[in-house]
Amino acid sequence: MFQVGDTNEIDMSVKVFAVQRSLSTFYNNEGSFNRKEYQIFQQQAVKPIPETGVQSAFCHEVPVIHVRSIKIQGVSSSSVFHVGAASLVRGDARIKHIRQIQSPRSQSPDKSI
């Protein structure tokens, strides 16, 4: 997400289920999954305890944001590039990545004829 300007609340969330295989093999039952089988999608997100008792005062003599240049290497899932003030920013990313990689020997064609 790219957002410029003052914001009251930013809430980002993404849940990813990825399967990586060394060979392009697809089975008939793929495309949906039972999220109850994977605990990472059931757990409550860990939230920081809000600060209490902090008092602050600001004086904005020039209430303008000026940015000369920006170089962004990357913005990923459940993240934000934000220029401005924000009262509350939350982000939650959950990724279950399954790798089904075969050894190089099992991928090569059988040469014993």
Mean pLDDT, residues 72-100 taken together? 84
Q: DSSP for the chain?
A: -EEES-EEEEEEEEEEEEEEESS----TTTT---GGG-GGGTSPPP-PPPP-S-------SS--------------TT--EEES-EEEEEEEEEEEEEEE---HHHHSPP---
Give tens-digit pLDDT for 26-79.
777 776 677 778 888 888 888 778 777 778 888 888 877 777 888 888 888 778
Does the pTM of the predicted model rise above 0.75?
no
| Between residues 92 and 66, the one the model is more confident about | 92
Q: Which is it for strands 81-83 and 2-4: parallel, antiparallel or unpaired?
A: parallel
Please calculate the CA angle 70-93-100 and round it to the nearest 5 degrees.
110
- 8 Å CB contact between 14 and 77: yes
Give the residue extent of every domain in the chain: 2-46+57-105
